[in-house]
Amino acid sequence: MRVLVTGADGFIGSHLTEELVKKGYDTKAFVCYNSFNNWGWVDYLDKEVRSQIDIFPGDIRDPNGVKEAMKGVDQVFHLAALIAIPFSYYSPDSYVDTNIKGTLNVLQAARELGINRVLVTSTSEVYGTAKYVPIDEKHPFQGQSPYSATKIGADRLAESFYRSFNLPVTIVRPFNTYGPRQSARAVIPTIITQLLSGYKTIKLGSLTPTRDFTYVKDTVNGFIEISRSSDTVGEEINIASQTEISIGELAREIIDQINPKASIVCEEQRLRPEKSEVNRLYGSNEKIKTLTAWKPRYSLREGLNQTIEFFTSNLDKYKCDIYNI
């Protein structure tokens, strides 16, 4: 089985690429081209794993490079995207180009090349603030940020290629994934890096929203299990822990593990616009458990322990003294 992972240089993509190699897949990694030959987190994988990866530097916005990367591939895991919500307020055009046009490039190439399976990565942000919980795949969509709006658009393009051209697409919708290698723009690395840097006051945005956190190894296992099941073709599938915790409670949990004397302050620049803030995300994982053999293996405490251990050893790779948007 020859597979391509777009966005392999990123957080989830690097973990997925690593796991596919370990499971014996012939793996190609589509990474964002740059003149430094920087392959993102792929550079930091174990040398034995990295030596088995076929690296393809390119730009997901370019249909020619995307099609070239997909030649000879059986399955595509499409993860390449811009994901930071605050940055989407400033640069929405780049999100349309990357998230919508980039997904269209993958779908067009898959159709022309006869790819056997395409997994398009969505996000729980497409649901917006929960209208009911747990949020299942029938929940309505609401674009509460330019980021979520472009992911809704990409999802609907994927659906249209399944319905119009019978392309074997699955829309994979992870809830809030966390773990080693995550960007400091995300809340858990934000808290951990500040604490490990000796900050006594931790700067955060709103503390009341709730999130459904899934450890990255569980998310990656979800992708692989979905790709192995023919019952998932044409479906939209959540990957969720089916639990929720508020940002304030989460912060206190991490603080208790690292420095119980630290306090929390809400910083104005970290707050989302009121109508844009997603106040509650609590996902249903019933569908994925029905259609595949997947089940979450890591509790939040176990996942946080491993995440803290990673950041303790890799703090020099992060700029915790600035607000990462």
For the residues of 96-159, what is the DSSP string, one character each?
IIIIIIHHHHHHHHHHHHT-SEEEEE--GGGG-S-SSSSB-TTSPP---SHHHHHHHHHHHHHH
- Contacts of residue 292, defined as CB under 8 A and 6 or more positions apart, other chains included, come to 222, 225, 226, 228, 229, 231, 232
Helix (H) or strand (E) holding 163: helix 146-165
- Active-site residue 147, yes or no? yes
Q: At CA 10, angle to CA 56 and CA 36, rounded to 5?
A: 55
- 8 Å CB contact between 257 and 126: no
6 vs 57: CA distance, rounded Å: 10
The count of C-alpha atoms lying within 13 angstroms of the C-alpha of 31, restricted to the half-sphere facing its C-beta, is 25
Tokens of 162: 């399944």
33 vs 185: CA distance, rounded Å: 22
| Residue 120 CB coordination number (10 Å) | 28
Which of the residues 95, 147, 178, 215 is marked catalytic?
Answer: 147
Catalytic residues: 147
